[in-house]
Amino acid sequence: MEWQQKVKEYFVKIFSNPFVKTPLIALGIVVAAVIVFFTFLHIFSRHGKGFPVPDFSNIKIEKAYELAKQRKLRLEVTDSVYIMTREPGTVVEQNPSPGTYVKANRRVFITTNAVNPMLVEMPNLVGLTLRQAISTLNLQGFDLGLLAFAPDIAVNNVLEQHYRGNEVDPGTKIPKGSTIDLLLGRGLRNEKSVLPRVIGLTLSEARNLLLEASLNLGRVTFDATVIDNLDSLQARVYSQYPNPNPMGENAINFGAQVDLWLTQNESRIPVEKTIKEPATRTNDAVEIFEEIIE
Q: Which residues contact 285 (CB under 8 A, 6 or more apart)?
A: none
- What distance lies between CA 230 and its chain's CA centroid? 8
For the segment 136-174, what is each residue's pLDDT rounded down to a tens digit? 999 998 999 999 999 999 999 999 999 999 999 999 999
Is the preceding peptide bond at 18 cis, omega within 30 degrees of 0?
A: no
For the segment 197-228, what is each residue's pLDDT rounded down to a tens digit? 999 999 999 999 999 999 999 999 999 999 98
Query: What single-letter amino acid sits at 153?
Result: I
| Confidence check: pLDDT of 285 > 50 | no
How many other CB atoms sit within 10 Å of the CB of residue 118? 13
Q: Among candidates 107, 123, 62, which has minimal Cα distance to 89?
A: 62
Q: Do residues 218 and 272 make contact, with C-beta atoms less than 8 angstroms apart?
A: no
pTM attached to this predicted model: 0.60
Domains and CATH numbers, the chain: 51-113 (3.30.10.20), 117-190 (3.30.10.20), 192-294 (3.30.10.20)
- What distance lies between CA 231 and its chain's CA centroid? 9
Burial class (CB in 10 A: 0-12, 13-18, 19+), 167: exposed
Ramachandran angles phi, psi of 69, nearest 5°: -65, -40
Q: Do residues 183 and 224 make contact, with C-beta atoms less than 8 angstroms apart?
A: no
For the segment 112-146, what is each residue's pLDDT rounded down to a tens digit? 988 877 889 999 999 999 999 999 999 998 999 99
Burial class (CB in 10 A: 0-12, 13-18, 19+), 268: middle
Query: What single-letter amino acid sits at 285?
Result: A
Q: Do residues 147 and 112 make contact, with C-beta atoms less than 8 angstroms apart?
A: no
3 state SS of 293: helix
**Can you give the C-alpha Rg of the chain in angstroms?**
34
Q: How far apart are CA 284 and CA 280, in angstroms?
A: 6
Average pLDDT, the chain: 84
Q: Report strand pairing: 143-155 vs 51-52.
A: unpaired
Cα distances (Å, whole numbers) of residue 190 to 54, 147, 186, 245: 53, 16, 7, 21
Q: What is the pLDDT of residue 226?
A: 95
| Confidence check: pLDDT of 32 > 90 | no
Q: What is the pLDDT of residue 241?
A: 96
Q: What is the pLDDT of residue 288?
A: 42
Q: What is the pLDDT of residue 219?
A: 97
Q: Among candidates 23, 3, 26, which has minimal Cα distance to 14?
A: 23
